[in-house]
Amino acid sequence: MDDGVARLSARGLRDALRAGELSAREATGHFLSAIETADRHLGAFVTVTGDRALEAAAAADEAYAAARRAGRLDALPPLHGMPTAFKDLVDVAGVPTTHGSAAISHRPAPSDGPLVELLRAAGTISLGKTQVPEFGLTAYSENRIGPPSRNPHAPALSSGGSSGGSAAAVAARLLPFATGSDGGGSIRIPSAACGIVGLKLGRGLVPAGQSPGDAARLVVAGPLARTAEDAALLLDALVACGEPGPGAGTGHGRHAASYVDAMSREPGRLRIGVALASPWDQRYRIQPEAEALAALDAAVVRLHAAGHTVAEAEIRYDNRYPDEFTAAWTAGVGTLRIQPECEPLLTPLTRAFRRRAQQRSRARFDEALAFLRRFERDTVAQYAAWDVILMPALAQTPRPVGWFSGTEWQTTADQDYARQCEFAPWSSMVNVCGLPAVSVPTHWTAGGLPMGVQLVGPMGSEGLLLALARLLETQRPVSPAVSSAVPLVSTPSGTN
């Protein structure tokens, strides 16, 4: 049955468990075996909790047998027996949370974090904790406590970050799906690098991932899955088992139909604005590679073919954004409780961000927050001229392990940060705006690397975004002859 499990989508696995064709112990055993075989070369997992997972699976099978005897299989939780794992920034009771750092103690967590509680209630079984960058700060999942998380399509390359271990595990079929947290692109960046679907939810839809010092309200949770349908399945469970917060929106999903249903509906003709402008344009050299533009071009062709109006959107960003976002993004590391003698164990980037955050006054931090709220209002107003905004997911193909931090050459913290911003220049502003966004692969390079696009919608549009992701992912890569029928969108001449 193992070969059959490996071929199943997450929805297919859910259906097999629900029908009794597969037990939770069989499903859990399959994925634990896959992890044992493949992860030594992948580095996706920090901790594997096999014994705990098998105990939970046995309990799930007992619950299934009792429900079947009572004729109440409908009473089982929506993801009964489904294996998953959690990035090592969130607490799982009884399992150490390392935060990817050698500078803090790794004591077992006393209780589950909100997202873990929610997914336990949904019936999932945790197989362990996945690799992250130190405190989730970077777009690559490398740290000083374990091997780097590598890209399943080319192990010499990074899987991205900060949900890099989870994205790699899903792409490599070590998990059917996973949740991540996203404060500046941490779901969408690794999903794009690994060729899977990553959905950043709108602010307040489900409990956020844990993040210290998130005064700017940047961090949200969301699914990582191999298909839009599997992402919708996980999102349905997240929303059904949790209560949406203020501003979650009711346009799709829980209050109208399931996200799986919303994803399957024809969205009607949409006005889709294509934007290459980035709020980092005035600070760094933002230049999309040909492969990034090919992914965008492929999406434009498919959206045109589906009857949508796709045109260039002129979006302008305030050029003060880089300083203000960075001040808010890095503030949390300045307040972390780290013993002075352990400070040298921090990575160079974290040490630099921590020192600057501690030197920054409260008044300066409040100025940054006030700026980001104004930036949010202005950007949301510009995006509102369109039903959806489309842009590349990444500006560059996946980078080699060690490329950002310069493990083979001397790299400063500022150079490291600049490389990250040039790699993923269209991510963080979506967090500032609190809007939902999805990353979906649309193009594969000649070397077999995935490249994709990001779609950003208004609040409450998660179902619409999944429908568009499904449209894009169901097509084969567009041939050069077809692709040339719709020209690439040119880079805007400038931003303000």
Catalytic residues: 87, 162, 186
CA angle, 106 then 328 then 386, to 5°? 115
461 is written with which tokens? 């549009």
393 is written with which tokens? 């997911």
Greatest Cα pair distance, the chain, in angstroms, is: 67
Alpha-carbon separation of residue 314 from 99, 276, 285, 393 (angstroms)? 39, 9, 19, 18
471 is written with which tokens? 């449209």
Which of 4, 288, 27, 38 lies closest to 169, judged by CA? 38
The full 3-state SS of the chain, as one line of letters, equals: CHHHHHHCCHHHHHHHHHHCCCCHHHHHHHHHHHHHHHHHHHCCEEEECHHHHHHHHHHHHHHHHHHHHCCCHHHCCCCCCCEEEEECCCCEECEECCCCCCCCCCCEECCCCHHHHHHHHCCCEEEEEECCCHHHCCCCCCCCCCCCCEECCEEEEECCCCCHHHHHHHHCCCCCEEEEEECCCCCHHHHHHHCCEEEECCCCCCCCCCCCCCCCCCCEEEEEECCHHHHHHHHHHHHHCCCCCCCCCCCCCCCCCCHHHHHHCCCCCCEEEECCCCCCCCCCCCCCCHHHHHHHHHHHHHHHHCCCEEEECCCCCCCCHHHHHHHHHCHHHHCCCCCHHHHHHCCHHHHHHHHHHHHCCHHHHHHHHHHHHHHHHHHHHHHCCCCEEEEECCCCCCCECCCCCCCCCCCCHHHHHHHHHHHCCCCHHHHHHCCCEEEEEEEECCCCCEEEEEEECCCCCHHHHHHHHHHHHCCCCCCHHHHCCCCCCCCCCCCC
